[in-house]
């Protein structure tokens, strides 16, 4: 996925207007469109409250935009849009989108900034409407929050159609008017980061194998070679590290495993310990011998969503030149059934010497993460955050509303939660009670069992308790992103498909830590 970053000069040329205002769709030679915002009235009336950019356009058009909005019906509600044609020769299609009320901010019950979310959703909707008009370039109103507007535009226009003969119109976007250019640039990078994760998660498993995943991230980090070091560790290295849990999962597949290790040195002169990000990288999960049912198994091409979001967050941090040191770890492999695959009841040994009874080969993510978490401690990290599409139980618990966070650190929870309020990609704290630990340590053959004693009860919590057995760091968080892996229509600025969540929250979290350095 690529999206050219262009910043718009102060104002377009409005010197030449059409003499007539059209209300029907007309074919034009120009392929440019414009998205403008309008707020809902704070009072019970139909008065219009245009954004600064929309008001500027309206002045140039001698009030025709306001006139048309009034003629076309009552005030424009949040998320709705209206299209006007023929107002300007450079912008044959102008989409005006409803932003909701301007007075809204952080909502104490929704745990996000409602105004930012409204902007993202409205701009995404307006850009999609214009994309459907086969426009190839769209200028976007910054809506007094250029970053949110850019995120909405970039996220809303993403489509994975690489393998289709007929493709959607490719659209470039740029900031319209005199909005905050730096905010727009930042928003574009945030959106492109999440789109990179969506691309990796959406692509078929035969197109994104462990080695292809590693090569893709390596290529995306190539422009930042001065600050980034990439290690694509081979199976031989994994064996030398005695990562028996990881190897036990990978041995069932013909695809060789890769342990991807990324070092971003955004603050090389700072002796502060690095932030460690760890992502589950199962590029396809059949369930192994404990085979999954065929219905919906195709979605398991995205079981590397943890690795995709973590690696994409590091790509974005490098693009933003964040002043922080980050290390990313992604154990990459497939979980397949074969004569070499794990069998229920097998016992394997993790890097830290703990033995694990594998009673369910479909609980493989925690096995590969166990070894990665052990290795993460060797870098004396400031904090460890791992992300994984780990359990269906997480989807049952929270659905797609928020990422579940299990953490041993109140400080780390506060940092993640604060970041999620800004991005609108929410997190929710889940329990790490000893109640769950006892369920994974009560094991007949080994130190640990890879499924809880009561496998159907508290599955997300017992999985987190299992991971905690491989953590000694005082600041660690496990993000179970299974519930937010896909999007149907829950997040209006994301189309149906793989979501790439919570990439932006990870980036915002890292940026917040950078500011504390």
Catalytic sites, residue numbers: 292, 366
Is the Cβ–Cβ distance between 424 and 152 less than 8 Å? no
Tokens representing 474 are 């005082």
Which DSSP helix (H) or strand (E) runs through 489?
none
Tokens representing 326 are 């980050």
d(CA 381, CA 43): 52
Start-to-end CA distance of the chain, whole Å, equals 32
What residue has token string 């909502």?
A: 107
d(CA 317, CA 387): 17
d(CA 428, CA 433): 16
Which DSSP helix (H) or strand (E) runs through 511?
helix 503-516
Spell out the alpha helix ranges (H) of 203-304. 210-221, 235-240, 244-250
Backbone angles phi, psi at 277, to 5 degrees: -115, 130
Coil, strand or helix: which one is 70?
helix
Is the Cβ–Cβ distance between 349 and 367 less than 8 Å? no
**Beta strands in 302-377, from DSSP E residues, in sequence order:** 325-335, 346-349, 355-358
Residue from 330, 331, 370, 332 nearest 348 by CA:
370
What is the rounded (10 degree) CA torsion for 161, 162, 167, 168? 50
Pairing of strands 112-113, 403-407: unpaired
The rounded Cα 187 to chain-centroid distance in angstroms is: 13
Whether the upstream peptide bond of residue 502 has omega within 30° of 0, thus cis, is yes
Q: Rg (Cα) of the chain, in Å, rounded?
A: 24
Coil, strand or helix: which one is 66?
helix
């Amino acid at each position: 996925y690529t999206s050219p970053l262009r910043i718009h000069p102060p104002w377009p040329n409005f010197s030449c207007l059409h003499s007539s205002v059209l209300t029907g769709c007309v074919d034009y030679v120009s392929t440019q469109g414009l998205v403008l915002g309008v707020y809902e009235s704070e009072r019970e009336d139909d008065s219009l409250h245009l954004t600064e950019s929309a008001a500027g356009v309206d002045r140039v058009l001698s009030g025709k935009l306001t006139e048309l909005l009034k003629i076309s019906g009552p005030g424009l509600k949040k998320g709705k849009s209206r299209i006007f044609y023929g107002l300007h020769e450079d912008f044959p299609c102008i989409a005006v989108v409803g932003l909701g009320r301007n007075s809204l901010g952080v909502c104490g019950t929704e745990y996000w900034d409602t105004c930012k979310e409204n902007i993202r959703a409205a701009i995404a909707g307006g850009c999609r409407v214009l994309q459907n008009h086969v426009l190839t370039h769209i200028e976007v109103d910054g809506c007094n929050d250029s970053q949110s507007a850019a995120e909405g535009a970039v996220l809303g226009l993403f489509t994975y159609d690489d393998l289709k003969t007929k493709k959607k119109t490719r659209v470039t976007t740029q900031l319209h008017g005199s909005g905050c250019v730096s905010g727009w640039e930042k928003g574009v990078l945030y959106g492109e980061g999440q789109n990179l994760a969506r691309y990796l998660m959406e692509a078929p498993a035969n197109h994104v194998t462990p080695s292809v995943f590693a090569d893709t991230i390596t290529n995306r980090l190539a422009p930042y070679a001065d600050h980034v070091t990439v290690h694509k560790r081979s199976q031989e290295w994994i064996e030398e590290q005695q990562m028996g849990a990881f190897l036990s999962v990978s041995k069932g597949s013909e695809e060789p495993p890769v342990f991807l290790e990324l070092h971003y040195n955004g603050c090389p002169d700072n002796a502060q310990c690095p932030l460690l990000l760890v992502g589950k990288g199962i590029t396809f999960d059949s369930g192994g011998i404990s085979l999954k049912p065929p219905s919906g198994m195709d979605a398991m091409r995205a079981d590397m969503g943890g690795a995709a979001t973590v690696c994409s967050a590091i790509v974005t941090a490098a693009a933003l030149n964040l002043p922080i040191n980050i290390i990313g770890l992604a154990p990459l492999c497939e979980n397949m059934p074969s004569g070499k695959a794990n069998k229920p009841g097998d016992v394997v040994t993790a890097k830290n010497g703990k033995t694990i009874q594998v009673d369910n080969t479909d609980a493989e993510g925690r096995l590969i993460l166990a070894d990665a978490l052990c290795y993460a401690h060797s870098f004396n990290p400031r904090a460890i955050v791992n992300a994984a599409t780990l359990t269906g139980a997480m989807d049952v618990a929270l659905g797609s509303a928020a990422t579940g966070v299990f953490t041993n650190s109140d400080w780390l929870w506060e940092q993640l939660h604060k970041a999620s309020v800004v991005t609108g990609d929410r997190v929710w704290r889940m329990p790490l009670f000893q109640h769950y630990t006892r369920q994974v340590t009560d094991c007949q053959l080994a130190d640990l069992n890879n499924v809880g004693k009561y496998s159907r009860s508290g599955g997300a919590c017992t999985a987190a308790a299992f991971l905690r057995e491989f953590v000694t760091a005082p600041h660690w968080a496990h993000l179970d992103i299974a519930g937010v892996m896909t999007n149907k229509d829950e997040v209006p600025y994301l189309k149906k498909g793989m979501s790439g969540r919570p990439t932006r929250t990870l980036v915002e979290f890292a940026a917040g830590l950078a500011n504390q350095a």
